Amino acid sequence: MKNILLCLDSDPQPSVFDSIAAIDAGVDHLLRYGGVQPDDVRDLIHGAMFTRVDQMLKHTAVFVGGSDVHAGEQLLAAAQKAFFDHLRVSLMLDSNGANTTAAAAVIAARRHVPLAQETTAVVLGATGPVGQRVVRMLAKEGVEVRVVSRRLPRAEGVCHRISRAVAGARVTPHAAEGTEVAELTQVAQLVISAGAAGVELLSNKARQAASSAAVVIDLNAVPPAGIGGIETTDHGTKRDGQICYGAVGVGGLKMKIHKAAIHRLFQANDLVLDADEIYDLGKRIDHDTP
Ligand SMILES: NC(=O)c1ccc[n+]([C@@H]2O[C@H](COP(=O)([O-])OP(=O)(O)OC[C@H]3O[C@@H](n4cnc5c(N)ncnc54)[C@H](OP(=O)(O)O)[C@@H]3O)[C@@H](O)[C@H]2O)c1
């Protein structure tokens, strides 16, 4: 039986990246829908649920994508609501690579710095899909997280949503640009930048001055770097006493996690792969990688 992935994208055009990654992960057929609204989901999911029976149901799965992770969460919730009795198919949420990229970044960090109560992290560009998931995964580990945006209400919104999703989350919103960002990084052991492509959020000088930062990760692959002085290919590279990772350095693990998650979808018909599950999968992959 062929493995079919139903791609539900909140953007008008379904993601090319997600489609190629799915084919590379071994999916036989893609059914791609763009501009999907929560009200559209029930009938699309029913089409996936009613065509195959019992053990064969696991050969159909659903991937939720798009550039808005909150919209993606609404599609995921609508998909779960469409199921009844034993009739269901496995689901994965990865809007703009949010879960897989964030998991790879946080896993890279935990190789070098304890992700625990005593650690403070600063997440720059924390309001995008990737940044939000980075904050969520760090908060789940008990890390104190400074959530940075250019606009306070946006940072507050992220903190509010993450406090609802993660019991006991220690997240604080900050509005900062330029030198204010540099000040925020002063007390952090971990700095992760998830800002938009091609935008510098922390200068090289400010990074070097962040003397308590043991690990610095920049996820932006488009010049200029999001954090000055970091090369995209940095992979645990020592710079000025800091362990550094760039977007390509993190991207290898991200792609492994992404493909492994797609593969996992077709092993059962009742999986929901969101932040926690994808982070756990990534930790297992990293542990097993020599
Ligand atoms: N390495 C990988 O494998 C991989 C995979 C996926 C994505 N990425 C990269 O990860 C990064 C995050 O992705 P994303 O989709 O979450 O990013 P995004 O939504 O495009 O941007 C993240 C945040 O950056 C801030 N921002 C936007 N324009 C800005 C500007 N001109 N100046 C300062 N801040 C600005 C915004 O925050 P505020 O408006 O709240 O300030 C925005 O919410 C991107 O650079 C992306 O290319 C890497």
- 154 Cα nearest atom in ligand 1: 40
pLDDT in tens, 261-289: 999 999 999 999 999 999 999 999 998 87
- In the block, tokens 């929560």 appear at 38
- 196 Cα nearest atom in ligand 1: 21
DSSP state of 112: T
CA–CA gap between residue 153 and residue 164 (Å, rounded): 17
Nearest of 281, 272, 273, 274 to residue 83 by alpha carbon: 272
Q: Is 218 within 8 Å of 240 (Cβ atoms)? A: no
If DSSP codes are grouped into helix, strand and coil, which group holds residue 241? coil
pLDDT in tens, 150-195: 999 999 999 999 999 999 999 999 999 988 999 999 989 999 999 9
CA–CA gap between residue 37 and residue 219 (Å, rounded): 29
Average predicted confidence (pLDDT) for the chain: 96
Alpha carbon of 39 to ligand 1 centroid (Å)? 28
What domains can you pick out in the chain, each with its CATH number?
4-97+255-288 (3.40.50.10280), 99-250 (3.40.50.720)
Note the pLDDT of residue 290.
67
Q: What is the pTM of this model?
A: 0.96
Nearest of 36, 149, 26 to residue 95 by alpha carbon: 36
Amino acid at 270: D
Pocket of ligand 1 (CB under 6 A): 96-97, 101, 125, 127-131, 149-151, 154, 194-197, 199, 219-221, 247, 250-251, 254
CA–CA gap between residue 218 and residue 145 (Å, rounded): 16
Q: Is 149 within 8 Å of 173 (Cβ atoms)? A: yes
